[in-house]
Amino acid sequence: MSNNTKDFVVEQLKKQIEKFKAESEQQSFGTVTEVGDGIARVAGLSEAMMSEMLEFKSSSGSVFGVALNLDEDSVGAVILGDVGDLKEGDEVIASKRILEVPVGDAIIGRVLNPLGQAIDGKGEVKADKHYPVEKIAPGVITRASVNEPVQTGIKAIDSMIPIGRGQRELIIGDRQIGKTAIAIDTIINQKGQNMKCVYVAIGQKESKVANIVAKLQEAGAMDYTTVVVAGASDPASLLYIAPYAGTAMAEYFLDKGEDVLVIYDDLSKHAVSYREISLLLRRPPGREAYPGDVFYLHSRLLERACKLNKDFGGGSITALPIIETQAGDVSAYIPTNVISITDGQIYLEPDLFYQGQRPAVNAGLSVSRVGSSAQIKAMKKVAGKMRLEAAQFRELAAFAQFGSDLDEETRNKLERGKRLMEILKQDQYAPVEVTEQVAVYFSLINGYMDNVPVEKVKEFELGLRQYLVDTKNDVLDKIRTSGQLEDDTVEVLSQAISDYKATLDYLDREIEEKSDNEQ
Amino acid sequence: MKISAKQYAQALLEIIEGKDDKAAKQSVLDFCSLLKSNNQLAQTEKIIYYFRKLYNKRYNIIEAEVLTKKALSAKLLTEVEAYLKALDKDSQVEISHKSSDKIIGGIVVKYGDKILDNSLKTRLRQLKTSLLK
């Protein structure tokens, strides 16, 4: 270490100290009159703003809080963090700033708490900007209709319940049924899709979050993902602001014209934490003891998901909120609220899950109200027929249980449906590329799978995809770039599937001959 | 109907309004016996708090608290008073003084629900955060 570097350090320090201007200005202050359960009541602070940051000065340092109730001569605030040794009579200073979080490219790949502080042990986040946690959603003038797809890589979703960029699609179902799995698979499949992801874990076990982060890292998904964690042991105030903080971080990328995917896992726990805060602040309870504004709680959050038009940067925020139902009860208060706010829902069913149909997506009850306009043309062409087949199968499957005397056509439909259900099964962490999906559905709806035994469908599908990638990559490329399924592509694709089938030995020859004779 | 501490304070203020010292004292005594008969003696502290507020507002008094490390010189005291007077011309200023080692140096002035923190402790903390940036 030479003298030179020492001088340099001293110079730098000098400069910084010179730059520091001591300013003292008049601040509003108040005193704590009541404290407990993460809530404080403060006297004074006559000029406090709604959701303003308040600095509570206790004997062992200061902690921040947010003003939530502005009463005649007191302010009700939630404390963000540990109440510690805060006591009656402690000083509170109004910061004159609305609650905000650090945003910027530096947050990518990090695990943060809802205040934007790093909790992954990789040092402080060096953010260039701060965004307010609560923000009014973009208005009508700035928006565009949803027209680009989000490829989840999950066959059942991409084909039948497509999601577009800027859409809000609810994932709903009982506990332990694969809701988070769908969200994580979607994040993993965003690699190279020009999409930033924000995963907001609300009230989850820290172990589960650690698992998810590890899985994302393994899949290389942390290169474009930020994880915001308000764990089960955090106070309700942090759980309450977590989704808003996550959205604020997403809005930074939105303002840069980028596409962002935000996952709120899950909003039922968020509503519960808000209920806790509201009851402690003595707001009157309503149905299921939730306060009167739980609807607004979620609607103002999900309205911030949007697709902006070209004049405003053309970015988008796609929201995938998750709701956990109790024993499949979708008519409870919070599920019905969120269903009515979102642009559709993915309904996961326990019965399907235990039958081995995983992901357990119930195609009948799941809908996507805007996503179909965002599907690529090739997918639209095959998926439309598929949805029809699936609907017919569901109808007939109920009938078929009464008797075996079915006419030929019905039997064929049932057989086709069985194979359809089979190809919708998918392992976790194994997203499928959209062009490969198109090829698989193409072979199904055109009857190429009719003579594949049901138990062999999975093997057939995997083999077909591998075969196409190995030998006919140019066709897949063509579908990918043009997004269309043109006549000549169709021809090459049919030929390729036939070629592939010629290499197999488990096909049901009887059916094959029969169909040959018919032709 | 339950009478709030604020309403009690307001009533007390209106009763003693315009009365001389002796009569006012009698009114306060009456007020206390009313509180006792209403079983509201527990509210006394709150009533005093609100009464001070209302009284100061009524007679335009600014109560200020000055916190320094050492005792304040008379010159400084008049300067602080002049500063507070400048904020609101018609007001009277009542300054109470406290000293504490905690602030290291400098001066902290509190008045109403405003605070002017010019202590060395706060300055050092601000310098620390700006250096860490």
- Give the pLDDT confidence of B47-61 residue by residue, as tens digits: 998 898 888 888 888
* B129 contacts in chain A (CB < 8 Å): none
Report chain A's mean pLDDT, rounded to a whole number.
91
What is the helix (H) or strand (E) element at residue A55, kind and residue range?
strand A52-58
B52 and A CB contact within 8 Å: no
- Span A83-96, average pLDDT: 89
- Spatial distance between the Cα atoms of A91 and A447, rounded to a whole number of angstroms: 75
**Cα–Cα distance, A48 to A241 (Å, whole number):** 19
Distance from CA of B48 to the nearest CA of A (A): 15
B122 inside 8 A of chain A by CB:
yes
Q: In which band, very low, low, confident or very high, does the pLDDT at A195 lie, cut at 50, 70 and 90?
A: very high
Chain A residue numbers with beta carbons less than 8 Å from the beta carbon of B45 are none
Query: Is A518 a residue whose pLDDT tops 70?
Result: no
Query: Where in chain B are all domains bearing CATH 3.40.30?
Result: 61-132
Residue A93 to chain B, least CA–CA distance (Å): 8
CATH placement of domain B61-132: 3.40.30
At A31, give phi and psi (nearest 5°).
-125, 145
pLDDT of B88 > 90? The answer is no
Looking at per-residue pLDDT, the higher value among B129 and A170 belongs to A170
Asked if A216 and A225 count as a contact pair (C-beta separation under 8 A), the reply is yes
Using the predicted structure, report yes or no on whether residue B91 has a pLDDT greater than 80: no
- Tell me whether residues B113 and A27 touch, CB distance under 8 A: no
Query: For the segment A425-473, what is each residue's pLDDT rounded down to a tens digit?
Result: 999 999 999 999 999 999 999 999 999 999 999 999 999 999 999 998 9
Q: What pLDDT band is residue B121 in, cutting at 50, 70 and 90? A: confident
pLDDT of residue A192: 92
Smallest CA–CA distance, residue B123 to chain A, in Å, is: 7
| Model pLDDT for residues A251-268, shown as the tens digit of each residue | 999 999 999 999 999 999
Place of tokens 């299921």: A288
Whole-angstrom Cα distance, residue A437 to residue A386? 12
Contact B131 A20 (CB under 8 A): yes
Chain B residues with CB under 8 Å of A29 CB are 110, 113-115
CA distance A366 to A194: 27
Nearest to A443 by CA among A422, A429, A426: A422
In degrees, to the nearest 5, what angle opens at C-alpha A319 toward C-alphas A318 and A322?
155
Kindly tell me if the per-residue pLDDT of A151 is higher than 80: yes
List, in sequence order, every residue forming a beta bridge with A34; answer none if it has no partner.
A41
Residues of B in contact with A45 (CB under 8 A): 113
Geometric angle at alpha carbon A279, from A275 and A280, rounded to 5°: 115
A463/chain B closest Cα distance in angstroms: 56
CB pairs under 8 A between A and B: 41
Please list the active-site residues of A: 369
Which site among A24, A41, A128 would you substitute to test the B interface, given the most B Cβ atoms closer than 10 Å to its Cβ?
A: A24
Q: B86: exposed, middle or buried (C-beta count within 10 Å: 0-12, 13-18, 19+)?
A: exposed
If DSSP codes are grouped into helix, strand and coil, which group holds residue B88? coil
Distance (Å) of CA B87 to CA A38, A114, A293, B97: 37, 40, 41, 20
